[in-house]
Each structure stands twice: as structure tokens, then as C-alpha cells.
């Protein structure tokens, strides 16, 4: 009997080892999606923020700390996107494997060509992101850098799986390049199109797909639209024949509604993360969705 049990438990251990034995916690859904593509069935991944939540503000729950304390790998978007909550959760987890600088800590922003890095740190001037704009995953080519960083992390905590991760990374690179051709072709007719955005999170997307964001609904990042800003935007919409104002699921549309009513401009809520809408299941879906929506609105 004891023998049967021991065979059974060792079988269970083997089985569970196959079904994602490496526990990964990511801060956002985009990091989760890419980790799953690289780690395949060797990993089980959990994201702390949901896709429709503003990643700057996350209300901590006990389960976040519990999953962090059991994690083998932690993936963060980095810069100062999650400063309000992730360092505190990490230290509460007391998991030495995933603290900053440990082998299980992955800062996905390593090596990303950052935009809007302020020359002097003066918060009053709107230079809030002291390391540069942290919404870099919205450029699909930065997805490659993220994937490389995650692959390195997985190889550090599971050296035996190196070949497997490298193969998946290659497949990811190939798919990104293929999809990028498709996305680029779709967006090509709209190169140089002027649009307005609610918050300054689209700079990487804008750069990659040749759009031109001429102004933001927010007078400064994080500050709700003021009356004078609304007047300014309404004038700009008329002067530059702006067709669309883009926003994210976690911002209120009330102020863009005002502009839309006055000018007839279209309001578009784009996804900033995987899971923002039900149809966006992975990192590729994210760009498929946003680009299809944009094209439909700009036509």
C-alpha cells in the first residue's frame, strides 16, 4: 500500500512538474501574455493587474502577496509604472528569490529605447515619469525586448529549459515580425494622421505606426481636463480636422463627450493591455484590436 502511495505521489509530482511548475507573477496582463508564449507549459503565470485597470493604481489584496511569496519569477514593466504598489507588495512577500537584483526578478524595460526621458527632474513641469514614458509595450517591436528579458529570467531560474525557451523566443520574434508587416501595411494609408489622446500613454504606439498626437485631453499627465484645455482641444479639432480622440478603458469619457458634441469628432476607447476587452486574449490580439478600431474610425 505504502508503495502504491509513493508511486502515486511521485507520479503527481512529475505531472504537476509538467503542468507549469515554474510559478511566475507579473504586474500586468501584457507581461503575462508574453511570459506564457515563452514559457509554454513549463510555467504557470498570474498577473496582478487586470487588463482594464489603470496600472498606476492597484488596490492590494492578500492573495497578491501570497502568490508573490510562492513565486519563482517576478516580471515588472518597470520604470515608475507600478511604483505605487509593487515594491511594497514585493517586500511584504519576503520572498528573497524575486527581490530586485535577485535571479527571479525581471525588469522587462531593460534595454528598451525609452521616449520622453526628462532632461531635468521637475515634477511641476509635467516630467512625472523620471525614467521616461513607461507605456513602452504599446510598440510591438519593444515586445521583442520584453520577451528577451523574460526569456533571460526564465533561463536563470530554470537553466535546464534553455533550449525550449530559446525556441519559443525565436517563434515569438518570427510572429511579431510577420504581424508587424501586416499591421504596418494596414496603418500605412494613415501615416501622419493627426489625432488627440486623453493621456500620454500612446507615444510608442504613435511613433511605431506613424500617427501624430497633437494634444492631450489632460493639460498635464494625471490632471483632469480643465475648461481652458477643453476650449483649446475644440479649436484644434476644428483647425486640424481631427477625426478621432483616443482614450483608455479606465478614463472617464465625459470631457471627450463635450468635445465630441461640439465638433462631431469620434471618441475611441482603445485597449492599453491584454484583457482590456474580452476579445483581447494575447499580446498580438492587442494590436489587432487597436489597429482595426483605429482604421475603422479614420476611414
Partner 1 sequence: MFEMFHLPFMVQAFAAAVITGILLSYLGVHVVGRGIVFVDLALGQISSLGVAFATFIGTGLTSIPLIFTLSGALLMSFINIRDKRLKQEAIIGILYAFASALTVLLISKTAHGDSDIQEVLFGNILSVSWQQITSIGIVFGAILLVQLIFFRKFASLTQSFENGVNHMIGIFNIWNFLFYISIGLAIVFAVKINGVIPVFSYLIIPAVSAIMLSKNKTVVLIIAIIISILAGFFGLNFSFHYDFPAGSSIVVVLGGIFILASVYRIISGTVNKEQTNHNIH
Q: Given the rule CB under 8 A, which residues bind partner 1? A: 56-57, 59-63, 65-66, 69, 84-85, 88-89, 91-94, 122-128, 220-223, 226
Residue 284 to residue 180: CA distance in whole angstroms? 10
Residue 249 to residue 14: CA distance in whole angstroms? 42
Residue 106 to residue 151: CA distance in whole angstroms? 9
Taking the least distance from each CB to partner 1, the nearer of 127 and 288 is 127
Residue 206 makes CB contacts below 8 A (sequence gap 6+) with: 212, 213
State how far the alpha carbon of 76 is from the alpha carbons of 16, 94, 118, in Å.
26, 17, 22
Shortest Cβ distance from residue 34 to partner 1 (Å)?
A: 26
Taking the least distance from each CB to partner 1, the nearer of 213 and 260 is 213
Taking the least distance from each CB to partner 1, the nearer of 66 and 295 is 66
What nine digits make up the cell of 158? Answer: 530554470
Shortest Cβ distance from residue 117 to partner 1 (Å)?
A: 15
Bridge partner residues of 196 (DSSP): 215, 245
Taking the least distance from each CB to partner 1, the nearer of 129 and 208 is 129
Shortest Cβ distance from residue 72 to partner 1 (Å)?
A: 19
Taking the least distance from each CB to partner 1, the nearer of 189 and 222 is 222
Shortest Cβ distance from residue 91 to partner 1 (Å)?
A: 7
Shortest Cβ distance from residue 63 to partner 1 (Å)?
A: 4
Contact present, 44 and 154 (Cβ < 8 Å): no
Residue 166 to residue 160: CA distance in whole angstroms? 12
Amino acid at each position: 500500500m505504502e508503495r502504491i502511495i509513493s508511486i502515486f505521489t511521485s507520479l503527481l509530482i512529475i505531472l504537476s512538474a509538467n503542468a507549469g511548475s515554474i510559478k511566475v507573477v507579473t504586474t500586468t496582463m501584457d507581461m503575462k501574455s508574453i511570459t506564457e508564449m515563452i514559457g509554454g507549459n513549463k510555467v504557470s503565470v498570474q498577473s496582478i493587474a487586470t487588463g482594464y485597470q489603470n496600472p498606476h493604481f492597484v488596490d492590494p489584496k492578500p492573495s497578491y502577496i501570497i502568490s508573490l511569496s510562492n513565486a519563482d519569477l517576478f516580471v515588472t514593466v518597470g520604470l515608475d509604472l507600478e511604483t505605487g504598489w509593487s515594491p511594497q507588495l514585493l517586500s511584504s512577500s519576503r520572498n528573497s528569490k524575486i527581490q530586485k537584483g535577485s535571479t527571479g526578478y525581471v525588469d522587462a524595460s531593460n534595454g528598451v529605447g525609452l521616449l520622453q526621458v526628462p532632461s531635468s527632474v521637475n515634477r511641476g513641469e509635467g516630467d512625472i515619469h523620471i525614467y521616461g514614458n513607461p507605456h513602452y509595450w504599446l510598440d510591438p517591436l519593444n515586445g521583442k525586448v520584453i520577451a528577451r528579458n523574460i526569456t533571460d529570467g526564465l533561463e536563470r531560474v530554470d537553466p535546464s529549459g534553455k533550449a525550449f525557451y530559446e525556441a519559443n523566443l525565436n517563434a515569438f520574434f518570427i510572429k511579431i515580425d510577420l504581424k508587424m508587416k501586416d499591421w504596418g501595411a494596414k496603418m500605412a494609408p494613415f501615416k501622419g494622421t493627426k489625432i488627440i489622446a486623453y493621456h500620454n500613454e500612446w507615444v510608442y504606439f504613435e511613433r511605431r505606426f506613424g500617427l501624430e498626437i497633437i494634444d492631450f485631453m489632460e493639460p498635464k499627465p494625471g490632471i483632469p481636463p480643465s475648461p481652458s484645455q477643453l476650449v483649446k482641444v475644440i479649436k484644434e479639432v476644428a483647425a486640424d480636422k481631427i477625426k478621432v480622440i483616443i482614450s483608455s478603458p479606465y478614463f472617464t469619457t465625459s470631457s471627450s463627450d463635450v468635445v465630441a458634441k461640439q465638433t462631431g469628432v469620434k471618441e475611441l476607447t482603445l485597449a492599453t493591455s491584454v484583457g482590456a476587452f474580452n476579445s483581447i486574449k494575447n499580446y498580438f490580439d492587442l494590436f489587432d484590436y487597436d489597429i482595426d478600431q483605429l482604421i475603422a474610425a479614420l476611414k
